[in-house]
Structures are given as C-alpha cells and as structure tokens.
Structure 1
Amino acid sequence: MNLITGIESTDLFGGEVPAGVLQLIERTRRGSDDDVAAALWTAILSYPRCLPPYYLLYKFHANRGELGEAHRVATRALAVAAWEASISGDWCAVQPGDADFSIPGPPRFWLFTLKALAFISVRRGERALALKLIAKLRWLDPIDCIGFEVVEALLAQSEHGNRKLTN
C-alpha cells in the first residue's frame, strides 16, 4: 500500500494530499537521490503545512544513514505537526489530554514523528534522549497505537550489543 495515497495516509495524516505535492512525490520515483531530496524540499517549501513530504524526507535521509539530516527534518516536521494540532511546540510539555492522538490527523502524525525521533536517536547512539522520547510515547499512547515497541526493542538490542563490546 502506498503510504501517501492509500489507507495508511488517511490513518496517519488525516486527509488528502494536495495534487501539487503528489506531482512532486511522483518525481521522486524516477529520480536520483539528489532529485528526490530536491523534489521533497520543493514540496515542503511550496506546501509548508502539508505533512507527508516531511515524513518522506526524514525517512529518505534515515534510510541513507544521514541521521543528522533525518533528525533535522523530523524536528521540523514535529514543529509543523504541533502547530497544526494546536499543541505545544515543546514535546516535553505535551500532555495526554492536549489532543486526541488516536484519530487520524496532525496529532497522530506528531506522535508518529516523535516515534521517528526516538528511532533516529537510537541509531545515533543517543540513548538518554531515546529513553525520554520512548517514555513520552508510552505516556501519550499507552496502548501503543503507533508501534513504539519496535523502537524499544531496537534500543534494547543496541544496549545488548554495547554490553558485548565492553565485555
């Protein structure tokens, strides 16, 4: 299923993706890595409140191992989603009752992006930050609708690997 145009898109982002964004995303399917990044940045700059291009761009960078850039884009996505969801721009200050994180739309995307930041933090070796992000996810999403347990497992696996290296 196509995350941008299918059921998952509605479940995560909460609505239709503008035609101009879809055209730019279509360019990414047949372009070089530089073309992909340029098309996604064009989408973000042209439609700064549209959330899917942020997701695609931070995922693109994370998949390439460009974790600093993935972190920067995800942080920007979190800020835009917070604005769209009318919640605090400081993720530490967000409370469970600030938004309904269980329904499609900016609050759910915000929560999903918080999970992405936790994942990126694990991959960057930022254990303390990853633990804080996971604790926030657990508090805001106690039944784990967005699947943060995968990030917890990755964190545990990386911790186990680090123990082997030091023994």
Structure 2
Amino acid sequence: MNLITGIESTDLFGGNVPAAVLQLIDTARGGDDEDVAAALWTAVLTYPRCLPPYYLLYKFHANRGELGEAQEVATKALAVAARQASIDSNWCAVQPGDADFTIPGPSRFWLFTLKALAFISVRRGNRAVALKLIAKLRKLDPTDCVGFDVVEALLTQSGSR
C-alpha cells in the first residue's frame, strides 16, 4: 500500500501531492533515520498545507517510539486539516454534521489523524484521553471507515494487563 501515490492517497487525502513534496519523500526512502526525519520535516515546514507529509512524519516518529514527537506532529496535522475542512479547531467540539468524513479530503484526513492521536495516547498510557478520542471517533464515524476498532482493541487489551 502506498499512501502517498496510490489509490489510498486519493481516498485519504483527496488530492495530488506536489512534485516537490514527492521529491522530498523520495529522498527519505531508503535513507537513514536522520535523512528521513530531515526530508519529512523539510516537507512539512516548506509545504505546511500539504497533508501527506504530516502523516508520514507522525508515523515515522511513532514507529521509532518517539511518541511525544508523533503526538506533536499529529496535533499540528489535525489543526491544518481542520482549517482546510472548515471544522472547529477543537476536536471535542466537532459534530457529525460539521463535515462529510466519508469522502476523500481534509475532513477524512482529520478523522484519520484523530485515530492516530488515539493510538498514540494508548501507547503513551494515557487511557483517559484515548477513551475520549475513541468516543469521538465512534460518534463521527459510526461505520468505522477509518478503522478505529483496532485502536479500541489495543486500548481494551492494555486495560486488562
């Protein structure tokens, strides 16, 4: 699955990625961790309205166990997507009718990033925040289009330890 150039990218982000961002992403591929981080941060800082580099950057940090950094990037991504989707910048205030979260574009990316924040919260041991995020996801995405059930299962599993 290629979330940047394939069908999944269109389904999630709702548009094309600028050539310069693709070039930075290509630079990151196969590089060491410093090169990857530098290329992705450059993409985010140079193209702050382009959503895909945020996804790659918060995923990069989460995979490395750098959960504070992942949360910081995901929070920034949520704010950028909220502005583009014309929804409230406070995720707690967003309601089901505020956007169509089923169609590709910023609102769907926003919802997907909310799921990422729930996942990060679970991994950081912040159960209360994770529960609130999952409750919001359930309200905004009752058919679970973004797959928050996986995060919910992880939360349940971590609570039984």
Q: Which amino acid aligns with 1:47?
A: Y
Q: Deviations over 1:140-167 (max 9, x none)?
A: 0001000000000000010112xxxxxx
1:17-166 to 2 correspondences below 5 Å? 17-161=17-161
Count of equivalent residues = 161
TM-score, normalised to structure 1's length? 0.95
Residue in 2 that maps onto 1:165: none
Residue in 2 that maps onto 1:4: 4
Counterparts of 2:45 and 2:66 in 1: how far apart (Å)?
21
Alpha-carbon distance, 1:2 to partner: 1.1
Q: For 1:75, what is the secondary structure of its paired residue?
A: helix
Q: Deviations over 1:99-152 (max 9, x none)?
A: 000000000000000000000000000000000000000000001000000000
Q: For 1:89, what is the secondary structure of its paired residue?
A: coil
Counterparts of 2:30 and 2:146 in 1: how far apart (Å)?
30
> What 5-or-longer segments of structure 1 have no aligned partner?
162-167
Counterparts of 2:121 and 2:127 in 1: how far apart (Å)?
7
Q: Which amino acid aligns with 1:29?
A: R
TM-score, normalised to structure 2's length? 0.99
Q: For 1:142, what is the secondary structure of its paired residue?
A: coil
Larger radius of gyration: 1
Q: Percent identity?
A: 81
Residue in 2 that maps onto 1:164: none
Please list every run of at least 4 consecutive aligned residues from structure 1 whose deviation after the TM superposition is greater than 6 angstroms: none
Counterparts of 1:34 and 1:90 in 2: how far apart (Å)?
32
Counterparts of 1:126 and 1:18 in 2: how far apart (Å)?
36
Q: For 2:44, what is the secondary structure of its paired residue?
A: helix
Alpha-carbon distance, 1:30 to partner: 2.3
